[in-house]
Amino acid sequence: MSGLGGLNKTPDSIVISVVQSQLFDVATPTHLSQAVQHVVALVERTKRAYHATDMVIFPEYCIHGLSMRTNSDIMCTLDGPEVAQFKAVCRAQNIWGCFSIMEKNDLGAPWNSGLIINNAGELVNYYRKMHPWIPVEPWYPGNRGISVFEGPKGVKMSLIICHDGMFPEMAREAAYQGAEVLLRTAGYTPPIKQSWELTNRTNAFTNLMYTVSVALAGTDGTFKSMGEAMFCGPEGDILVRGNNSADEIFACEIRADEVRRRRMHWGVENNLYQFGHRGYVAVKGGASDCPYTYMKDLVAGKWVTAEDAEVTVKDGTSCGFEPPGQTFVNELDEKK
């Protein structure tokens, strides 16, 4: 049930709109400013087209395009003019917004960052992409972990970015922390279309949550993004599906009570609960051990797959990037 694409809104629901914003070639500060103005105008258009919208989601790279340029003069900061304009339009339109920036990083390569701004123009969630799409993307891997925040009407949400969604552990971590809606923004191109649908639907069903996903659309003359906005319900059904049209807006009613009901009352396929309570019919409370070698090895810093020695692509040189010289710094470790 989508509420006729968000046109009908029940009192205990929220409406989320996603925008398949146009892909731009952004090479200069002037290009960046023009892209920001385009996104701001689309926030205003969304509120006119779907007045009941509580939250609007923009794709990854919505103001930077897919060139993978890292020059400092087009990188953003949290206190910079681009974010200030996002805050201003959310406040003026009384709407929550999800935006993407490529962000300056004192540690080295820039961050690929996602921002959630509430309808008062306040930054309420800040996420750094955990899994850059290597070897294509040059971004520093996220070091803040996955967070869950309360969105409109207290709905629990989490934001991941593009390639993150190909790792089932990302959706599971968000759901484990209580997320009822998983937002996924992307700049994906058409070859990923089938995998996009498979993972959006699977992430929803295996965690009994909504997934709300959107990619850029159109072409910048070199690259072409796929659009393919998608709302999936807690049983993995597609509620609203987009197309490949640039700047197209799609909306859907989200009922968090449908997530809560399933997580509380389902027995069969309540996999979020059962993952930590294996075989509870046979043993009291179920088995809550960790039988997974990959989890133990990752925690111990000993991750080695069976094919590790045969892997040939281990840096970004195939895509024109120099081998990295810096080592990873985890902000979570620094706080311990």
Active-site residue list: 60, 129, 162
Residues 6+ apart with CB under 8 A from 62: 21, 35, 39, 99, 100, 185, 216
Alpha carbons 201 and 224: distance in angstroms, whole number: 24
**C-alpha distances out from residue 239 to 180, 205, 211, 226, 302, Å:** 16, 13, 10, 19, 41
**C-alpha distances out from residue 39 to 129, 248, 263, Å:** 21, 12, 36
The two beta strands, 96-103 and 55-57, are: parallel
Tell me the helix, strand and coil percentages in the chain, rounded to 5: 30, 25, 45
Identify the CA nearest to 148 among candidates 118, 182, 99: 182
Hey, what are 146's tokens? 């996955």
Identify the CA nearest to 178 among candidates 218, 135, 209, 202: 209
**C-alpha distances out from residue 102 to 68, 120, 212, 228, 239, Å:** 9, 23, 21, 22, 31
Question: From the centroid of its chain, how far is CA 199?
Answer: 13
Residues 6+ apart with CB under 8 A from 241: 228, 229, 230, 231
CB 260 within 8 A of CB 12: no
HSE-CB of 246 using CA atoms within 13 angstroms: 14
HSE-CB of 36 using CA atoms within 13 angstroms: 21
